């Protein structure tokens, strides 16, 4: 047994040293509040006072002031002494709202206390503070994009970290409304209402938002009267909106079609609006070619020989442009060849009157007509025979005169018949021109 006791004594010495070391380290590492509390607990008065500081949360908060048994605490917002401590309150004051000075700066509230010793011990007076800091607002927005429809749109901010729903906050916002297509930046620059909140350190106070045009592959189509497949319209030209859409040139008046009245080739600007949603596209353009005016033939210059004739056509067209020239009721058996505006007619009979129609046609298919009449000359051989007869014998001349006289009567009668036939032929020719031109346009 003595031997065992000695062993225990020898082991106990190192163990006790380790224990002391642990206590020392724990004391060094112990939080300041705890060590202060221990120190306060060991103070003669036995009073501890700890200030409070925190962010506004809608709850009441007090400083932490305690005393050992044998002490009675008195509290006040004014200084307490041995002479006036009885004017203090037995209730530790608490505070919910932020306190600010005349300049709006946050201020701590001072809480005074007096610890009255009931028996042994010394009285103690002191103070500490309660500080309620304002809460930085946190904001979210209800939207950040719209599709353009010509109406006003608005993004609305909401404070998400109010301590109580009854806390009134009216945010001051700029650039949170708009109707035009484009990018906007909404910003909160302040607020009215509860002073327990602050803009300092606030989050979500700006919002990048936009109004964008409707994005669709649907588009308008051009329509109207046509004479050919050149792409030129000759009347009633319009842009037709696709199914489910309306079309407008000014963004105000909407319809299923948009008339086009500009003569010539023009870029027509328009927008589409989706009927179901009211959403509107950006301004688009479509080229439309319209020619509602016929060409004009100002006149023709005709040069006729015995079996040929050359006709130069003077025509103008200021819209779609002249495309070709044609003939109507061309002489039977004759050949008509155009080289630009020059018409050459071959295969004619000498000393014969001809009447037909030339036409100038523009790119759209519109045409103008002009009546052409001329008489071919006699052939050179016919002139030679006439000269030979003039050199005939007197008897022949006498016969020729007689024949000529007789011939004169015959010629007079023949001329009358020619005039009658020519008049009838001109009337029939004019009627045929009208019918044939009308048929051509209907094609």
- Determine contact, residues 311/372, Cβ cutoff 8 Å: yes
Residue found under tokens 């003039």: 390
- Determine contact, residues 198/205, Cβ cutoff 8 Å: no
CATH number corresponding to 296-442: 2.60.40.10
How far apart, in Å, do the first and last CA atoms of the chain sit? 139
366 by DSSP, 3-state: which?
coil
- Determine contact, residues 198/136, Cβ cutoff 8 Å: yes
Distances (CA, A) of 207 to 158, 172, 186: 12, 14, 5
Q: Is 376 exposed, middle or buried (0-12, 13-18, 19+ CB in 10 A)?
A: buried
- Determine contact, residues 205/153, Cβ cutoff 8 Å: no
How many whole angstroms separate alpha carbon 160 and alpha carbon 203? Answer: 10
* Sheet with 353-362, edge to edge strand ranges: 322-328, 353-362, 367-375
- The class level of CATH for 135-212 reads alpha beta
Which of 305, 370, 373, 300 lies closest to 341 in space, CA to CA? 300
Distances (CA, A) of 80 to 65, 115, 116, 122, 129: 15, 10, 11, 15, 15
Beta bridge partner(s), residue 317: none
How many whole angstroms separate alpha carbon 312 and alpha carbon 281? Answer: 53
pLDDT tens for each residue of 66-84: 999 889 999 999 999 999 9
Domains 46-133 and 296-442 share a fold: yes
- The class level of CATH for 46-133 reads mainly beta
- What residue segments make up the domains of the chain, in order of their start? 46-133, 135-212, 221-290, 296-442
Residue by residue, DSSP assigns 159-187 as E---SSTT--EEEEEES-EE-SSEEEEEE
433 by DSSP, 3-state: which?
helix
Q: Whole-model pTM?
A: 0.66
What is the pLDDT at residue 38? 39
How many whole angstroms separate alpha carbon 161 and alpha carbon 55? Answer: 12
Record the tokens describing residue 295, joined without a space: 């060409």
pLDDT tens for each residue of 101-155: 999 899 999 999 999 998 778 899 999 999 999 999 999 999 999 999 999 999 9
What is the pLDDT at residue 253? 97
How many whole angstroms separate alpha carbon 406 and alpha carbon 239? Answer: 75
What is the pLDDT at residue 318? 87
Q: Is 290 exposed, middle or buried (0-12, 13-18, 19+ CB in 10 A)?
A: buried
Each residue's pLDDT tens digit in the chain (443 positions)? 444 444 434 444 444 444 444 444 344 444 444 333 333 333 455 899 999 999 999 999 999 999 998 899 999 999 999 999 999 999 999 999 999 999 989 999 999 999 999 877 889 999 999 999 999 999 999 999 999 999 999 999 999 999 999 999 999 999 999 999 999 999 999 999 999 999 999 999 999 999 999 999 999 999 999 999 999 999 999 999 999 999 999 999 999 999 999 999 999 999 999 999 999 999 999 999 999 999 999 999 999 999 999 999 999 998 999 999 999 999 999 999 999 999 999 999 999 999 999 999 999 999 999 999 999 999 986 554 444 443 433 333 333 333 323 333 333 334 434 343 444 454 444 445 444 544 454 44
């Amino acid at each position: 047994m003595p031997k065992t006791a000695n062993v225990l004594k020898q082991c106990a010495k190192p163990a006790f040293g380790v224990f002391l070391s642990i206590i020392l380290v724990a004391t060094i590492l112990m939080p300041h509040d705890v060590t202060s509390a221990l120190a306060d607990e060991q103070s003669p008065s036995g009073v501890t006072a700890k200030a409070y500081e925190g962010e506004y949360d809608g709850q009441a908060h007090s400083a932490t002031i305690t005393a050992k048994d044998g002490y009675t605490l008195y509290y006040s917002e004014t200084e307490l002494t041995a002479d006036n401590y009885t004017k203090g309150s037995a209730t530790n004051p608490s505070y919910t709202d932020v306190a600010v000075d005349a300049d709006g700066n946050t201020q701590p509230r001072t809480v005074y206390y007096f610890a009255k010793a009931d028996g042994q011990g010394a009285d103690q007076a002191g103070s500490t503070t309660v500080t309620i800091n304002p809460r930085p607002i946190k904001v979210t927005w209800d939207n950040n994009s719209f599709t353009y429809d010509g109406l006003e749109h608005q993004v609305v901010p909401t404070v998400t970290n109010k301590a109580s729903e009854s806390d009134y906050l009216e945010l001051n916002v700029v650039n949170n409304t708009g109707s035009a297509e484009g990018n906007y930046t909404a910003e909160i620059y302040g607020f009215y209402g509860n002073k327990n909140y602050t803009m300092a350190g606030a989050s979500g106070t700006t919002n990048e938002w936009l109004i964008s045009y409707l994005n669709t592959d649907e588009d308008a189509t051009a329509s109207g009267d046509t004479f050919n497949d050149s792409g030129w319209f000759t009347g009633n030209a319009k842009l037709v909106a696709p199914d489910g859409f309306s079309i407008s040139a000014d963004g105000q008046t909407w319809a299923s079609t948009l008339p086009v009245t500009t003569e010539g080739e023009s870029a027509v600007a328009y927008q589409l609006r989706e009927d179901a949603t009211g959403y509107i596209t950006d301004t688009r353009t479509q080229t439309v070619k319209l020619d509602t005016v016929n060409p004009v033939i100002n006149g023709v210059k005709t040069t006729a020989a015995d079996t040929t004739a050359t006709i130069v056509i003077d025509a103008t067209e200021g819209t779609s442009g002249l495309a070709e020239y044609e003939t109507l009721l061309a002489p039977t058996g004759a050949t008509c060849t155009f080289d630009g505006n020059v018409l050459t007619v071959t295969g004619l009979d000498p000393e014969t009157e001809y009447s037909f129609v030339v036409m100038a046609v523009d790119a759209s298919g519109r045409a103008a007509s002009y009546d052409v009449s001329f008489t071919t000359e006699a052939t050179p051989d016919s002139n030679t025979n006439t000269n030979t007869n003039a050199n005939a014998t007197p008897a022949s001349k006498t016969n020729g005169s007689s024949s000529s006289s007789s011939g004169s009567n015959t010629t007079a009668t023949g001329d009358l018949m020619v005039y009658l036939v020519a008049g009838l032929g001109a009337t029939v020719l004019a009627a045929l021109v009208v019918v044939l031109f009308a048929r051509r346009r209907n094609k």
